[in-house]
Structure 1
Amino acid sequence: MQLFFHPVDLRLNHTFTIAHDSRDVQPTLIVELRDGAYRGFGEATATRYYGITIEGMVAALEAIRDRIEAHTLADPEQFWADMHPYLEQNPFALCALDQAAWDVWAKRQGKPLYKIWNLDPTNSPLTDYTIGLDTPAQMVEKMQERPWPLYKIKLGRPEEDKDISLVQALRQHTDAVFRVDANCGWMATDAIVKSKLLRDLGVEFIEQPLPANDWEGAKQVYEQSALPIIADESCIVEADVDRCAGYFHGVNIKLTKCGGITPARRMIARARELGLQVMVGCMTESSVGISAIAQLLPLLDYADLDGAMLIANDPATGVTFDYGKVVYADENGTGTKLLLPE
């Protein structure tokens, strides 16, 4: 195999603001594994919040280039296990490599990845579309640009207690289901009170209302919230799934954070064993990363796969979207084709 890197600055359609970050450009790294005529692609975005840079991911992968290129890749799960000890400290790089491995491996088999896993996408969940923090008027404008049956609304600015009035303002313009993501921006007592008000405004669940390490508060909210509570920042790696049981009603698994498709599948299975609801989300990836994540759709209760819809210069093709429904590309592997020059 041969290893290639394709760093890209993804230009966002709108300034994207959440409780702890705001950006207009999302740097991303597309990793390619080439095996003869087969090209497999994976992706991970840079993020200041987790200290992940493009340069750091490239350096981590370059350090084991010989191991990667010498591997037979007979089994993607074994490939992940062989690479994990060297990339454990950079799960984003491991994620991009793992996605590329599954993609090229499935292309060798001549089938889409989800079909190799014998998954039926017939009843897969719809994906939401995220509306980043902004003024009410601008958030309404973003909704009107993209009529959708399901919106994720970013809330949680610690200096402002305007969350409820904001959702009330948005509700006047759509009957769509809302999901709320506070990105660690609330305290337990606030979350409990807001949960009752948000329930009456047609909100389906609340994602990560408290700081990730506030387990005492999480227990209180879990027991008293009027809405289901989904862990995000509190559920990073496989061991966190067990810890979230009894503190959250479900978990949002991010492939970049846990290290790829391989551990994500195990996390989904473990969450099911524990009776947790399962969501898989994105980190504003292009169609490369989104198409990889979408292979897991039939296993999920909820999906947040809008990354490619938020950018203006998608460097690839892959899954497409039809009013919330994720439509698989008629391609093998994860369905991704890179549009960048070789």
Structure 2
Amino acid sequence: MKIILRTFNLKLKHPFTISRKSHSIQPSLIVELQSEGHSGFGEATSNTYYNTTVDSMKHNLEKIIPFIESVTNETPEEFWRKAHQLLQHDLFALCALDNAYTDLYARKKGKKLYELWGYSIDHNPKTDYTIGIDSIEKMVSKMKELPWPIYKIKLGTKEDIAIVTELRKHTDAIFRIDANCGWTVPETLTNAVALKKLGVEFLEQPLKADDWKGHATVFKHSVLPIIADESCIVEADVTKCHNYFHGINIKLGKCGGLTPARRMIAQSKKLGMKTMVGCMTESTVGISAIAHLLPELDFVDMDGILLLADDIATGIRILDGVIQYSELNGTGVTLKS
């Protein structure tokens, strides 16, 4: 098996701002694995919050090329277990590698990935579209630019309720709120009351990741469901979040790829928690991988490709929140020339 590493700077349509940062370019690493005339693709993007860069991921993958080249026909689960032993310090790099291998495995089997897993796509959830923090006028403008059935609104400002109040005047779409650790317990409980009246479906990660006492209070008293993001990174965090959150938002980069993400989804369901997968502004390579998990999810945030000025691949398409799959096997991805 041969590995090819490519780096890209994905340009965004608009500067993207959350409670702790703003950016206009998203560095990304694409992994291609080649075997028996097939190629599989995986992606992971840089993330300052998790101290991950494209260069560090590339360096860590280059160090294990002998292992990668020695792999023959292991299942994705077997491959992930071996790769995790070598990359447990860099789960973003492991994600790109795992997704590429899983894609390759499905293509060699002659199946789309959801078919390989035995999933039915008849009742897939729709994806939301994210509105980053900006002036109220610009947030309204971004929303009007792309009418959508579900919006995920980034908050964590002094004008949060005013923002949502104004946005509500222009649409009857479902609202989801992501404060990215930007609120306190009193702010969360007070805001939840106002936001519920404004048609908000749930709140995502209002408190700092390690504020477990605060999470317990919010879980008990909030009038809106609370979804964990920064508090739920790897598999062990699922049970940790039980009785502190109503659901979890899994990011493939954080947990190490599709293989552990599927186990996290299954564990969450056993605990009676809602399941969600989110993106990190990946290209169609990363977003197409997420698409094959849809049959197992309650919610999904896979709008990364809608935020890009230019994409680097073809694969899934999104129309009015609905995901349309590629005709190709695996995740259905092809890199543009």
Report the TM-score range of the alignment, normalised by the length of the smaller protein: over 0.9
Query: Are 1:216 and 2:218 counterparts?
Result: no
Q: 2:202 is aligned with what amino acid? A: F
Residue 187 (structure 1) aligned with residue 189 (structure 2): no
2:302 aligned residue: 305
The residue type paired with residue 86 of structure 1 is L
Number of aligned residues: 337
Show CA shifts across 1:68-117 (max 9, x none).
11111331110000110110010000000000001111000111000111
Give the structure 2 partner of residue 46 of structure 1. 46
Which whole-Å CA distance do the structure 1 matches of 2:44 and 2:21 have between them?
A: 18
- Is contact 1:73–1:101 with CA below 8 Å preserved after alignment? no
**Who is 1:283 aligned against?**
280
* 1:101-149 residue CA offsets vs partner (Å, 9 max, x unmatched): 0111100011100011110111111000000000111111111111100
C-alpha distance after superposition, 1:242-278 (max 9, x if no partner): 0000000000000000000000000000000111000
CA distance in 2, matches of 1:148, 1:133: 18
Counterpart check, 1:272 vs 2:266:
no
Q: Say whether the 8 Å CA contact 1:250–1:279 is kept in structure 2.
A: yes
TM-score normalised to structure 2 length = 0.99
**Aligned: 1:128 with 2:125:** no
Q: TM-score, normalised by structure 1?
A: 0.98
CA offset digits 1:278-321 (Å, max 9, x no partner)? 00000000000000011100000000000011101110001101
Counterpart of 1:251 in structure 2 is: 248
What's the counterpart of residue 312 of structure 2? 315
User: Quick one: which of 147, 150, 174 aligns to 1:177?
Assistant: 174
Segments of 5+ residues of structure 1 without an aligned counterpart are none
CA–CA separation in structure 2 for the residues paired with 1:156 and 1:247: 21
* Residue in 2 that maps onto 1:205: 202
* C-alpha distance in 2 between matches for 1:69 and 1:236: 29
| Structure 2 counterpart of 1:149 | 149
* Partner SS, residue 49 of structure 1: helix
Secondary structure in structure 1 of the residue aligned to 2:208: coil
Give the Cα separation in 2 of the matches to 1:144 and 1:331. 33
In structure 2, what is the equivalent of residue 230 of structure 1?
227
Give the alignment partner of residue 324 of structure 1, picking from 321, 324, 334.
Answer: 321
Gaps of at least 5 residues in structure 2 are none
In structure 1, distance between residues paired with 2:80 and 2:303? 26
Alignment of 1:62-81 (within 5 A): 62-81=62-81
Query: Could you give the per-residue CA deviations for residues 150-193 of structure 1, whole angstroms, max 9, x where no partner exists?
Result: 00000013xxx210011001111111000000000000111001
1:339 paired residue number: 336
Tell me the amino acid that sits aligned with residue 288 of structure 1: V
Q: Give me the whole-angstrom Cα distance separating, in 2, the residues matched to 1:331 and 1:237.
A: 30
Q: Secondary structure at the match of 2:22?
A: strand
Secondary structure in structure 2 of the residue aligned to 1:204? strand
Matched ranges for 1:84-95 at <5 A = 84-95=84-95
